[in-house]
A = this chain, B = another copy of it.
Amino acid sequence: MPDKNLQLDGNGKLLHFLSIEGLNQPILTEILDTAESFTSITERNVKKVPILRGKTVANLFFEPSTRTRSTFELAAQRLSADILNLNVNTSATTKGESLLDTLRNLEAMQIDMFVIRHQDSGSAHFFAQHVSPGVSVLNAGDGQHEHPTQAMLDMFTIRHFKKDFSQLRVAIVGDILHSRVARSQIHALNLLNTAEVRVIAPRTLLPVETEALGVSIYNNLEDGLKDVDVIIMLRLQKERMRGALLPSEKEYFRLYGLSQERLKCAKPDAIVMHPGPANRGVEIESSVMDGSQSVILNQVSFGISVRMAIMSMIVGQSGLRGDES
């Protein structure tokens, strides 16, 4: 298990952002509050503040991603950082350089902040363990471990629409077993004292240690959705079908797809979330995705403010300190 104290210094200040596990309620709340102050920037004529001016952010993506890479890039641009995009495919890695050599070389280029997505669980922690003091690492998804910025934008979205976590029932639906998003969300919801966190999934897609995470488990969608305030649908990785973990897409939708009909099981004002990209008609009905309870696109917008907040807290500027000169 990775060292949990990597992320915070002795005074509780954020050094890296690697996993929700190992963080605490005050720092999560500070991130949400700081992100709040950044949402106004995006409504201004000039969407830019000089917080990362003269700093270099490297986007190091070993797995392809459009949404996450773009929102990190936009967050860094709006903080006035210089950006180096590195899409590393396996063929480049087979050129004989290890992950550590790649890191060491990039660090020698005086990169200030690494945003890393990698197929191996623990790779972001590995990076953070090896960078020099003053260099920081942000986890943009590591294997099946965590995707903590996604979880924080989800928390921001929930707080924005539903205010007080201690009054909320939240259901996470789908492939919990393989989902780094779900893992991060559960940790965050627990840290923020959510009244009840439910996971709803077929038995084959639940990790064995699920109960240890402090969640209620449901195998039936209708039962699980009853009276919830927030529904988080997970993306169904279609390749799971082949692994015999799941029946057909049609059958999956019949059992675990969120339809208009089923949405009625939840509270009338429940919000519907999805980390994207969604498979319309597989885990979620199109009309629900585009419906009045869906806040899926708000999640994307908030994702930029949340990433700006985390980046600015790491460089030591908590929130918005005036305009670009």
Contact = CB atoms under 8 A, between A and B. Distances in A.
Interface of A: 42, 44-48, 53-56, 64, 66-67, 70-71, 73-74, 77-78, 82, 84, 86, 88, 92, 95-98, 101, 104-110, 238, 276-280, 282, 297-298, 300-301, 303-304, 324
A54 B45 contact: yes
A212 B42 CA distance: 47
A324 B325 CA distance: 12
* A-B interface, 4 closest residue pairs, ranked by CB to CB distance from nearest: A46-B54, A108-B300, A108-B297, A48-B54
A71 B297 contact: no
Contact of A56 (B74, B86, B92, B110): B74
Contacts of A56: 47, 74, 77
Contacts of A64: 92
Nearest to A78: B82
A278 to B, nearest CB: 8
A55 to B, nearest CB: 7
A86 B105 contact: no
A152 to B, nearest CB: 17
Contacts of A297: 104-105, 107-108
A82 B76 CA distance: 11
A108 B53 contact: no
Contacts of A55: 46-47
A177 to B, nearest CB: 20
Given A67-B105, A96-B282, 17 more contacts: A45-B54, A46-B53, A46-B55, A47-B54, A54-B324, A64-B92, A74-B110, A77-B84, A96-B280, A97-B277, A101-B278, A105-B276, A105-B277, A105-B300, A108-B301, A109-B300, A109-B301
Contact of A109 (B74, B96, B104): B74
B82 A74 contact: yes
A322 B317 CA distance: 26
A109 B70 contact: yes
Contacts of A303: 109
A110 B304 contact: yes
Given A46-B53, A47-B56, A66 B88 contact: yes
Contacts of A44: 54
Contacts of A78: 82
22 contacts: A46-B53, A46-B55, A47-B55, A48-B82, A56-B77, A66-B88, A66-B92, A70-B84, A70-B86, A71-B109, A73-B84, A74-B82, A77-B82, A77-B84, A96-B238, A97-B277, A97-B278, A101-B280, A105-B297, A105-B300, A108-B297, A108-B298
A324 B108 CA distance: 23
Given A70-B109, A301-B110, A277 B101 contact: yes
Nearest to A106: B70
Contact of A110 (B42, B86, B278): B42
A93 B164 CA distance: 38
Nearest to A298: B108
